[in-house]
C-alpha cells in the first residue's frame, strides 16, 4: 500500500510538470489530475478566474472603489502570448508616425503574424500594414481581398496606384495563425507573396507577380497596422507582430529569414503588457518609433491575450468585489437593494455603529444607512450629501432631525466606522473611527418604537456590520459572523436578515455585473461543440425585464447562451440556447444568492446541465448545434447585448469536450473546495 501511495504521488508530480503552477498544486493537493483539466493540454479552451491579485496574467482593474474590471485574462494557456486584438470596427488599429526609416523608396519587405476567423472570405478587405492616406500620400499597403488573396498596392507619385494580387489564396483553416509576407523589388516591379508557420520557412502563393517598376513614393502619412487611413479595411482578428524591412536580402526568390540589418520597424506585441495604450517598437537599427493603439468601443483595439475578456467602456465595466478574509455586504445604490429584518423593538437610549467602506462619504444623494421610521415613530440614519450624519428620531408626536456638527472625513473607498449614541431627553453624540468626534447635539425628545421592518440601504459600497443596541433589543447585521449562503441568514443576536434585489454578501473574489449595463466579451476564437462550460457564479436580482437575461453567450448572439426568462416567475429556471430553445430548464434555487459550481454541456441532442453536485439533467435538453466561437459574459452577444443579468462571477472554465458525469463531478468538487462554496 505504501508503494502504491508513493507511485500515485509520483504520477501526480509528473502530470503536474506540464501545468501552470496553480494547476500543479490543484492537481497534487486534490489527489487527482483535476488541475490538468483546467489547462490547454487537458482540453481547456479558456479559463477566466478572479483568484489572486491583479496582474498581466490574471485581471486588470482601475483604482476606483470598488475597482472596475477592464480585462480578465484567459489562464488556460491558449492566450499566453499577448497580441494586438482588432474587432474590424472603424478607427480601431495601431499606428506609428511617419519617419525617414519608414519612407522606403526602394525594395521593401512587409511581414506580419496574424490570426483570422476566416482566411477564405474577407468582405472588409482587411489591411495588414499600410502607409496610405487614400489621397495624396499613398506609399504602400499590404492587405487581403474579399476572396482571401494577398494584395500589395503602391504608388510612385503619392496619388495614382498600381497593385499586384497573389495568384493563390492562403488555403488556411479558420482561426489558423500564420506569418504573411510581401516583397517588392523596385527595379523590376517583381512582387512575391508568402505564408509561413514560423516566419522562417516560407511558401509562395503562386507565381511571381509584376507591376510597373519604380521608386515608392516617400510620403508623410503615418504607418498603420490593421487599417488604412484609420477607417478603411479595418481588420478583425489578432496580430502578434508586424515588421518592415527596407531590403530583400536575397532578391525576390528569398524564402528564408533576412538580416535584422534591414529591419526598420518591429511592432512585437508579444513583448508589450496588456492594455498598454502606447509603446516603443523594437527595431535595432534606427530611432525606434512610438506605436499608439487607437481604440473605440467596448471591445476596441487593445493589446491582450487572444482569448482574454475585455470591457473598455468604463460605464459598462463590471466591478471587482475583493475578499480579504472578512465577509461584507455590497450594494451599488439601486433602489430596493437592501438588507432587512422583520419587526424588532428599538426604543429608548440607543447606540448605532456602522462599519463600512463607502464609495463616497459625500454622496451625490443622501444615503440611508438604517431605517426603522414610520410616521412620527422610530429611528433613521442618513449620510447627507455634505458628509453630515443625520439621526432622525420619532417620539410619537414628531420626527426630528439631529445632525452631526462636523462632516464625516473618511476617505472615499476607505473602511471606517460611524457611531451614534442617543440618550432620551439629552441628545446624540456622533463619532468617527472610534475616537474622532463629529459633535454632540442636544435634543429633548424620547425615541419611540415603530413597528416596521428594519432596513439597511440602499448604499453604494461595502458594509461590514451594522449594530443597533437599544434598552429593549439589539440588532446585529454582520454577515461575517453568521452568513453561510442564500438570501437570508440568522444574526448572532437572533433576528433573520434578508438580502433584497442586487445587494449581495461577498465571501470570495468576484466580478459584479449590474444587470443594466455591464458585460465583457472576448475576440472570436475557435470553440465548437461539444462544449462543456463550468461557471462559478451567483444570480442576484432577476426581475421581469429584460425578457431574456443571459449569464453568458457565445461570440455572436445565441450561439451558446445560459439565460433566465423574465416571465418565468417565480422560479426562473436556467435555460440553454444554441439555435433552439431547450425545453427543460435547471432549477436556479442553488444559484440564487448562492455562489455555485455549475456545469453545462452544449452537445446537440446530448446536452445537459447541473448545479453543484446534483446529477446532470439530460431529458429535453436540446439547445441546438450553434458553435460559440467566443464568449460574452453578463449579457447576450451582438444584437442580444441588452440582455443583461445581475450576477456575481468568480470563475468560468470552457472545455472542448463533452465531459462525462464523473468528470463534471470531479471539477465541481474541486471548484466547491477552491471557492469554499456552501451547497444547500
Select from 225, 237, 110, 228 the least CA-distant residue to 172. Answer: 237
Confidence of residue 19 (pLDDT cuts 50, 70, 90): very low
Q: What is the pLDDT of residues 297-317, one digit of tens each?
A: 999 999 999 999 999 999 999
Q: Please give the CATH number for the structural domain made up of 21-79+307-323+508-680.
A: 2.60.120.200
The whole-angstrom separation of Cα 637 and Cα 665 is 29
The whole-number pLDDT of residue 612 equals: 87
Choice among 1-10, 197-206, 422-431, 550-559 with the minimum mean pLDDT:
1-10
Mean of per-residue pLDDT scores for the chain: 91
Choice among 66-80, 336-350, 370-384, 560-574 with the minimum mean pLDDT:
560-574
Confidence of residue 569 (pLDDT cuts 50, 70, 90): low
Beta bridge pairs of residue 553:
632
Are the CB atoms for 305 and 83 separated by under 8 Å? Answer: yes
Does residue 145 surpass a pLDDT of 70? yes
- Cα distances (angstroms) measured from residue 381 to each of 401, 404, 574, 672: 10, 11, 39, 39
Q: Which fold has domain 328-505?
A: Jelly Rolls (2.60.120)
Does residue 20 surpass a pLDDT of 80? no
Are the CB atoms for 408 and 361 separated by under 8 Å? Answer: yes
Q: Percent of the chain beyond pLDDT 90?
A: 82
Q: What is the pLDDT of residues 453-506, one digit of tens each?
A: 999 999 999 999 999 999 889 999 999 999 998 999 999 999 999 999 999 999
Beta bridge pairs of residue 538:
648
Q: For the residues 627-656, what does the mean pLDDT come to?
A: 93
Are the CB atoms for 45 and 76 separated by under 8 Å? Answer: yes
The whole-number pLDDT of residue 583 equals: 67
**C-alpha 94 chain-centroid distance:** 22
Does residue 517 surpass a pLDDT of 50? yes
User: Which architecture, in CATH terms, is 82-306?
Assistant: Sandwich (2.60)
Nearest-10 crossing angle of helices 2-16, 21-29: 160
Q: Where are the beta strands (DSSP E) in 73-137?
A: 82-87, 93-96, 108-115, 127-132
The whole-number pLDDT of residue 10 equals: 39
Are the CB atoms for 621 and 609 separated by under 8 Å? Answer: yes
Q: For the residues 230-251, what does the mean pLDDT come to?
A: 90
| C-alpha triplet 594, 597, 600: angle, nearest 5° | 120
Which residue ranges does the chain devote to CATH 2.60.120.200?
Answer: 21-79+307-323+508-680, 82-306, 328-505
The whole-number pLDDT of residue 12 equals: 39
The whole-number pLDDT of residue 545 equals: 73
Confidence of residue 241 (pLDDT cuts 50, 70, 90): very high
The whole-number pLDDT of residue 613 equals: 84
Sign of CA dihedral 314, 315, 318, 324: positive
The whole-number pLDDT of residue 531 equals: 98
Does residue 200 surpass a pLDDT of 80? yes
Does residue 586 surpass a pLDDT of 60? yes
Q: What are the backbone dihedrals phi and psi of residue 417, each rounded to the nearest 5 degrees, phi first? A: -125, 145
Amino acid at each position: 500500500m505504501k508503494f502504491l501511495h508513493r507511485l500515485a504521488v509520483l504520477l501526480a508530480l509528473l502530470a503536474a510538470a506540464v501545468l501552470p503552477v496553480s494547476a500543479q498544486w490543484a492537481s497534487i493537493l486534490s489527489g487527482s489530475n483535476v488541475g490538468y483539466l483546467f489547462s490547454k493540454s487537458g482540453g481547456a479552451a479558456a479559463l477566466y478566474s478572479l483568484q489572486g491579485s491583479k496582474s498581466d496574467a490574471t485581471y486588470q482593474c482601475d483604482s476606483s472603489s470598488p475597482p472596475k474590471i477592464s480585462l480578465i485574462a484567459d489562464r488556460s494557456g491558449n492566450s499566453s502570448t499577448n497580441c494586438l486584438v482588432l474587432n474590424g470596427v472603424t478607427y480601431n488599429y495601431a499606428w506609428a508616425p511617419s519617419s525617414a526609416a519608414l519612407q522606403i523608396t526602394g525594395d521593401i519587405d512587409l511581414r506580419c503574424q496574424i490570426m483570422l476567423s476566416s482566411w477564405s472570405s474577407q468582405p472588409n478587405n482587411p489591411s495588414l500594414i499600410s502607409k496610405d492616406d487614400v489621397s495624396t500620400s499613398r506609399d504602400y499597403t499590404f492587405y487581403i481581398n474579399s476572396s482571401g488573396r494577398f494584395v500589395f498596392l503602391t504608388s510612385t507619385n503619392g496619388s495614382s496606384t498600381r497593385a499586384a494580387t497573389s495568384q493563390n489564396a492562403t488555403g488556411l483553416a479558420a482561426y489558423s495563425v500564420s506569418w504573411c509576407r510581401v516583397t517588392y523589388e523596385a527595379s523590376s516591379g517583381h512582387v512575391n507573396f508568402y505564408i509561413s508557420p514560423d516566419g522562417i520557412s516560407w511558401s509562395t502563393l503562386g507565381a511571381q507577380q509584376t507591376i510597373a517598376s519604380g521608386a515608392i513614393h516617400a510620403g508623410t502619412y503615418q504607418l498603420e497596422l490593421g487599417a488604412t487611413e484609420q477607417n478603411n479595411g479595418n481588420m478583425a482578428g489578432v496580430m502578434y507582430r508586424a515588421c518592415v524591412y527596407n531590403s530583400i536580402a536575397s532578391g525576390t526568390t528569398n524564402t528564408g529569414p533576412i538580416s535584422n540589418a534591414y529591419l526598420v520597424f518591429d511592432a512585437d506585441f508579444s513583448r508589450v503588457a496588456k492594455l498598454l495604450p502606447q509603446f516603443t517598437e523594437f527595431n535595432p537599427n534606427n530611432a525606434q518609433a512610438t506605436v499608439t493603439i487607437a481604440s473605440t468601443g467596448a471591445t476596441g483595439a487593445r493589446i491582450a491575450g487572444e482569448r482574454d475578456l475585455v470591457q473598455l467602456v468604463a460605464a459598462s465595466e463590471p466591478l471587482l468585489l475583493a475578499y480579504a478574509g472578512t465577509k461584507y455586504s455590497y450594494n451599488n445604490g439601486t433602489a430596493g437593494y437592501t438588507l432587512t429584518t422583520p419587526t424588532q423593538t428599538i426604543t429608548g437610549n440607543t447606540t448605532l455603529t456602522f462599519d463600512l467602506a463607502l464609495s463616497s462619504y459625500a454622496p451625490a444623494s443622501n444615503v440611508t444607512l438604517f431605517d426603522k421610521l414610520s410616521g412620527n415613530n422610530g429611528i433613521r440614519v442618513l449620510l447627507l450629501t455634505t458628509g453630515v450624519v443625520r439621526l432622525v428620531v420619532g417620539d410619537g408626536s414628531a420626527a426630528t432631525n439631529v445632525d452631526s456638527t462636523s462632516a464625516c472625513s473618511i476617505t472615499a473607498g476607505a473602511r471606517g466606522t460611524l457611531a451614534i449614541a442617543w440618550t432620551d431627553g439629552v441628545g446624540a453624540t456622533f463619532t468617527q473611527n472610534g475616537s474622532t468626534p463629529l459633535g454632540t447635539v442636544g435634543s429633548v425628545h424620547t425615541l419611540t418604537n415603530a413597528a416596521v421592518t428594519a432596513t439597511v440601504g440602499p448604499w453604494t459600497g461595502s458594509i461590514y456590520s451594522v449594530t443597533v443596541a437599544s434598552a429593549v433589543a439589539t440588532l446585529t447585521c454582520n454577515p461575517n459572523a453568521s452568513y453561510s449562503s442564500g438570501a437570508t441568514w440568522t444574526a448572532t443576536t437572533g433576528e433573520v436578515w434578508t438580502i433584497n434585489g442586487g445587494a449581495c454578501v461577498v465571501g470570495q473574489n468576484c466580478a459584479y455585473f449590474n444587470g443594466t449595463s455591464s458585460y465583457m466579451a472576448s475576440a472570436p476564437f475557435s470553440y465548437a461543440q461539444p462544449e462543456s462550460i463550468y461557471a462559478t457564479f451567483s444570480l442576484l436580482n432577476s426581475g421581469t425585464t429584460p425578457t431574456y437575461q443571459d449569464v453568458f453567450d457565445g461570440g455572436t448572439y445565441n450561439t451558446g447562451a445560459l439565460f433566465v426568462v423574465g416571465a418565468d416567475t417565480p422560479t426562473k429556471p436556467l435555460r440553454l440556447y444554441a439555435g433552439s430553445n431547450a425545453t427543460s430548464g435547471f432549477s436556479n434555487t442553488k444559484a440564487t444568492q448562492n455562489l455555485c459550481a455549475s456545469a453545462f454541456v452544449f452537445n446537440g441532442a446530448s446536452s445537459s446541465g447541473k448545479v453543484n453536485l446534483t446529477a446532470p439533467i439530460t431529458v429535453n435538453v436540446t439547445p441546438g448545434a450553434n458553435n460559440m466561437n467566443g464568449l460574452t459574459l453578463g449579457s447576450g452577444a451582438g444584437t442580444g447585448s441588452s440582455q443583461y443579468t445581475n450576477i456575481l462571477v468568480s470563475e468560468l472554465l470552457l472545455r472542448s469536450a463533452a465531459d462525462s458525469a464523473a468528470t463534471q463531478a470531479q471539477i465541481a468538487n474541486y471548484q466547491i473546495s477552491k471557492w469554499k462554496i456552501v451547497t444547500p
